[in-house]
Amino acid sequence: MNSKEDIIDNIKVVCQCKGIKKGRFKQLINEGVLEESELRKATGAGSGSCQGRRCSPRIREMIGQGTLATGADSPG
C-alpha cells in the first residue's frame, strides 16, 4: 500500500513541459542518481520548450533533500 506522500509524489508534476512526476525524480535520487545532468538525462527533464528554466530549481532542491536523507556528501 502506498503512503499518502507516495500518492502525492506520483501526482505532482515537476517538469511541466514533459509531464514528469516528482515520484520519478525521488526514485532515481533514492537509487543514487545525485547529479542534475544525470537526472535530466534519465527522465528527459529540461528538454522541453522551457529548456529546464522551470524544473531545474525544483530538481536541484530535491537533490539537496536527497543528499541530506542519504547522508551523501555530508561534512565530516
47-66 pLDDT, tens per residue?
999 999 999 999 999 999 87
C-alpha closest to that of 56 among 16, 26, 27, 28: 16
The CATH class given to the 4-69 domain equals mainly alpha
Q: Which comes out higher in pLDDT, residue 12 or 67?
A: 12
Residues 4-56 pLDDT 10s: 998 999 999 999 999 999 999 999 999 999 999 999 999 999 999 999 999 99
Quick one: cell of 2? 502506498
For the chain, the domains span 4-69
How many Cα atoms sit within 13 Å of 30 on the Cβ side?
A: 6
Q: How far apart are alpha carbons 27 and 39 in whole angstroms?
A: 10
